[in-house]
Amino acid sequence: MLKNIIYFGVSIILFFAGVIVYGIILNIREDTLAEAMDKKGIEDLGDVYLLIDKKNFTIELFSDSMLVKKYKAAFGNNSSPVKTSLDDNVTPTGNFIICNRDTAFLYHKLLQINYPNFNQISEFYKNNYIDRDEYKKLIAAVSEYDFLPEEGFKKQRIGIHGIGEYNLIFKNLPFAFNWTNGSIAVSNEDIDELYTVTNIGTKVEIR
Range with the poorest average pLDDT among 16-20, 49-53, 85-89, 115-119: 16-20
pLDDT above 80 (res 29): no
The percent of residues above 70 in pLDDT, for the chain, comes to 86
Give me the pLDDT at residue 24, please: 60
What mean pLDDT value characterizes the chain? 88
Of the ranges 68-72, 90-94, 104-108, 115-119, which one carries the lowest mean pLDDT score? 115-119
Q: Is the dihedral of CA 96, 176, 185, 23 positive or negative?
A: negative
pLDDT at residue 28, as a whole number:
63
Q: Tens of pLDDT along 127-148?
A: 999 999 999 999 999 998 888 8
Task: Give yes or no for residue 154 having a pLDDT over 80.
Answer: no
